[in-house]
Amino acid sequence: MPSLEKMTCVEDFRRLASRRVPRMFYDYVDSGSWTEQTYRANSADLQRLQFRQRVALDISRRDLRTTVLGEDLAMPVILAPTGLTGMQWADGEILAARAAQHCGIPFTLSTMSICSIEDVAARTQRPFWFQLYVMRDRDFIGDLIDRAKAAGCSALMVTLDLQVLGQRHKDIKNGLSTPPRPTLANLLNLAGKPRWCWHMLQTRRHGFGNILGHAKGVSDLHSLSTWTAEQFDPTLSWADLEWIKQRWGGKLIVKGVLDAQDARHAVDAGADALIVSNHGGRQLDGAPSSIAALPAIVDAVGSQIEVLLDGGIRSGQDVLRALALGARAVLIGRAFLYALGAMGQPGVQRCLDLIANELSVSMAFCGRTSVRDVDASILLNPGIFQSQEA
């Protein structure tokens, strides 16, 4: 049986999660939309950035600390909002939030989480962020915002790139649902995942906790599925952010920006931060990688708003590459989900420790002792994703 000490990188966790997590939930994490071109590009483009190694410099003391939206972070990493986290491991959102708290970084709870806002707030001490999908039922959305405020959430993140759903072939073929439907294929797959099944039997949290019992007309999982498919709002516009910002009254982040013009709209809408993101390659296949889109957005609005990035981050070196091109911090999704599915909360904490160590060591090789001093000069080829504005 693998031990925590033998897990040395995110890939180790991915391989273990592929054996321990039921197929439909593992595939939900480990896939993109259509041909998965953008999903693959997120990681591949990061690897194209080469470091400029420096030597004979005093690198004895290194500092990974930074701030995002006025919050102190132990390192420039945030746990991204991910749906169905509680299906990777029982009560997964609570465990991931505790791991983030232990490591001194923010956790972001998804609207489509298994554990509810109230569940996570009651079982953690550090304020977390809440991610909001805007749906047609604005009374329900207003209630979600109010619930996040009541729970003490320190930032609200509005996702803008899921007005319609990108086709994810594996989810369709697997018949993704929560909990899994009792089909022969699912039962056979679950039979080979005794650890997962045992933990799931110990919790009552098997559905979408933020929605069941809160949204009108949703009383069981069958109606929930229909409601969700009908509720994502294709009329969402920048004008809606004004109402959201007023209702929320706190720090506002917009997620899903890939274009400099949209970044300017985010600034004009009063956002405090934006996330350069293509939804992990799960929406528009053929869109640019997040790292390729980053330079133009930093050039356009980096002096006016905090610019974060997600997509493809699998290591501390990837974090360093994103910082070099102007990101203030990064969000990780798949990386922590692999660790969670493999080993629960200890896995997530180990994953974050590995990323922190790799960031620190790689920064040292580049002659830097603080993440605040990282810039494009640590790269040999910083211009490969030349800023090009429309």
And the tokens for 388? 């090009």
Q: DSSP string covering 105-135, please?
A: --BEE-TT-SS-HHHHHHT-SS--EEEE--B
Interacting residues of 355 by C-beta distance below 8 A, sequence separation 6+: 10, 75, 77, 315, 316, 319, 332, 335
| Structure confidence at residue 138 (pLDDT) | 92
Backbone φ and ψ for 336, nearest 5 degrees, come out as: -80, -25
7, 13 in Cβ contact below 8 A? Answer: yes
280, 31 in Cβ contact below 8 A? Answer: no
CA-wise closest residue to 255 among 111, 145, 158: 158
Q: In which residue ranges of the chain is pLDDT below 70?
A: 220-226, 387-390
Provide the H-helix boundaries in the chain: 10-20, 23-29, 37-47, 92-103, 117-122, 138-150, 169-174, 184-191, 194-201, 221-231, 238-248, 260-268, 290-301, 316-324, 334-365
- Burial class (CB within 10 angstroms; exposed 0-12, middle 13-18, buried 19+) of 214: middle
And the tokens for 255? 């997620």
C-alpha distances out from residue 159 to 162, 216, 302, Å = 7, 22, 20
Task: Answer yes or no: is 152 within a domain.
Answer: yes
Task: Answer yes or no: is 386 within a domain.
Answer: no
Write the pLDDT tens digit of every residue in 227-236: 777 888 999 9
Task: Answer yes or no: is 385 within a domain.
Answer: no
Task: Answer yes or no: is 389 within a domain.
Answer: no
Task: Answer yes or no: is 112 within a domain.
Answer: yes
Would you name the residues annotated as active-site residues? 279
Task: Answer yes or no: is 348 within a domain.
Answer: yes
> How many Cβ atoms sit within 10 Å of the Cβ of residue 241?
22
Any idea what DSSP says for residue 377? Answer: G
| Structure confidence at residue 221 (pLDDT) | 64
C-alpha 316/C-alpha 93 separation (Å) is: 23
> How many Cβ atoms sit within 10 Å of the Cβ of residue 361?
15
What total number of domains does the chain contain?
A: 1
C-alpha 133/C-alpha 220 separation (Å) is: 20
66, 371 in Cβ contact below 8 A? Answer: yes
CATH label of the domain that carries residue 113 = 3.20.20.70
Question: Long-range contacts for 209-213 (Cβ within 8 Å, ≥24 apart)?
Answer: 209/86, 209/113, 209/114, 209/115, 209/116, 209/117, 209/119, 210/111, 210/112, 210/113, 210/116, 210/117, 210/144, 210/147, 211/111, 211/112
Write the pLDDT tens digit of every residue in 243-279: 999 999 999 999 999 999 999 999 999 999 999 999 9
Any idea what DSSP says for residue 56? Answer: S
CA-wise closest residue to 336 among 28, 130, 85: 85
Task: Answer yes or no: is 384 within a domain.
Answer: no
Residue 93, domain extent:
4-379
And the tokens for 200? 């799931």
Task: Answer yes or no: is 117 within a domain.
Answer: yes
Q: In 294-321, which positions are buried (b, 16+ CB within 10 angstroms) versus exposed (e)?
A: bbbbbebbbeebbbbbbbbbbbbbbbbb
Q: Before 180, cis peptide (omega within 30)? A: no
